[in-house]
Amino acid sequence: MFNLSKGEVLRGKHDFSAVHSRGRAFANHALVLLVVRDERYNGKVGFAAGKKLGGAVVRNRVKRLMREAYRLNKNSLRRDCALILIGRKFLTSAKLKDTQKAFLDLCRKAKLL
């Protein structure tokens, strides 16, 4: 697994709240995807895992899975929007293959591919 560059990741409460309030939501059993089509964000992405999922170790694992699924598919995504990926309980026991499939399904729904 490789890291994303700092320029690719949404940082700060202001960016997250802007995408969260203006974004369109798409969901399935594993993920919630918030999308805002805005040139200013230039393909930035944010990851979130709430405390309902478990302790810090579990939440960090969920975020790592989401980051890797995004990283493997980011070249086929549109670059004129900002994304926030929110993990659901299913991801606490999921493998990367399941996470990637759920992510691609949501991207197809949101017409990001």
Among 61, 45, 55, CA closest to 93: 61
Q: How many domains does the chain divide into?
A: 1
Q: What is the rounded CA–CA span in Å between residue 56 and residue 58? A: 5
Q: Confirm whether 1 is domain-assigned.
A: no
Q: Confirm whether 102 is domain-assigned.
A: yes
Q: Confirm whether 65 is domain-assigned.
A: yes
At residue 71, the pLDDT reads: 95
Q: Confirm whether 29 is domain-assigned.
A: yes
The whole domain housing 33 covers 6-109
Judge whether 30 and 69 are in contact, CB under 8 Å. Answer: no
Q: What is the CATH number of the domain that holds 35?
A: 3.30.230.10
**Element housing 87 (H / E):** strand 81-87
pLDDT digits (tens, 9 = 90+) for 48-97: 999 999 999 999 999 999 999 999 999 999 999 999 999 999 999 999 99
Q: Confirm whether 105 is domain-assigned.
A: yes
Residue partners of 6: CB distance under 8 A and separation at least 6: none
Q: What is the rounded CA–CA span in Å between residue 110 and residue 33? A: 9
